[in-house]
Structure 1
Amino acid sequence: MSDGCRPVSDALAYLAGRWRVGRAVQDLAGGDTGRFAGVTVFSALPDGGLLHEESGTFTWRGVPRPATRTLLFLPGPTPARADVRFADGRPFHELDLTTGRYIADHPCAADLYRGEFTVRDADRWRTVWRIGGPAKDLVLTTDYVRED
């Protein structure tokens, strides 16, 4: 497609599997930068949906440390949509890949997380999270490449 995104008719089927992850983190207020390198695995949940498990190494101010994150991607009202939740079940954001691009908002205390999801092709997608408010001023750019 000319706009660089690929429509997805079934979000959970598209995401299922193992992805190599590279993330650049930029602190716009302080000027620091960091990187995450690892994998994300989307595996089937017993009652539908996907368990998102991310693990790797996050390097911040030159110090590498292990990092993990777990999310739930539950079926949405149509196959192209998903309900994304934190591991404890709290709502995070909706996701709609019908057009291959989606913008999601998540208010967190006084900060706002705004994520742009872009499906590049069958094996590559990207998220760009802009986090702004009194506590944070960050941009997180994550590229996913399918390993399966």
Structure 2
Amino acid sequence: MESKSRRDISHFEGTWQIARQIEDRMGGQEAHFSGRAKLRPLGEHWLWQESGEIRYGAGPALKAERSYLWRPMGRRIAVHFEDGAFFHDFDPEAPAPEAEHFCTPDLYHAAYDFTRWPRWQVTWEVAGPRKDYRMTSECRRPETG
């Protein structure tokens, strides 16, 4: 964890390498995403843009991109979909930050882990009538030199 200074949205600014694993517990293929994300200020929001490749099982690599809008909200960070709809929020200073998102009939539950900052991860457990998977994203600063 970094020094005693409070971690806020500005600590996430910049480029991150992402390694993501998706474990489908309904018998589908496991997927792996590898790419980069960049968080930068954009007016009253911060834009999180990620791009890379996703591979399902032994299939070919496919291009994958996603964007979210982050917004400081007191101690918390609110995450919105690219269209501005609210997704979830989290407290980067909480001992074990969690979040939930309901997309009827599905429930998305996130657990953030900042204990190895500036390496961090978020694990989403997703459950619904036709969904049952775990998605873990590990984020770290790109290697330098």
TM-score, length basis structure 2: 0.89
Instruction: Determine if the alignment matches structure 1 residue 116 to structure 2 residue 111.
Output: yes
Which stretches in structure 2 are left out of the alignment for 5+ residues? Answer: none
| 1:120–1:126 Cα contact (<8 Å) kept | no
Task: Point out 4+ residue stretches in structure 1 off by more than 4 angstroms.
Answer: 5-8
Query: What residue in structure 2 maps to residue 86 of structure 1?
Result: 81
2-side partners of 1:116 and 1:7: how far apart?
22
For these two proteins, the number of residue pairs brought into alignment is 142
Query: What residue in structure 1 maps to residue 121 of structure 2?
Result: 126
Query: What residue in structure 2 maps to residue 107 of structure 1?
Result: 102
| Superimposed CA distance per residue, residues 92-147 of structure 1 (whole angstroms, 9 cap, x where no aligned partner) | 00111122531100011201000101113332000100000102101001100112
Could you tell me which amino acid in structure 2 is paired with residue 33 of structure 1? E
CA-based RMSD: 2.1
Which stretches in structure 1 are left out of the alignment for 5+ residues? Answer: none
Instruction: Determine if the alignment matches structure 1 residue 59 to structure 2 residue 55.
Output: yes
| 1:27–1:138 Cα contact (<8 Å) kept | yes
| 1:110–1:135 Cα contact (<8 Å) kept | no
1-side partners of 2:114 and 2:51: how far apart?
21
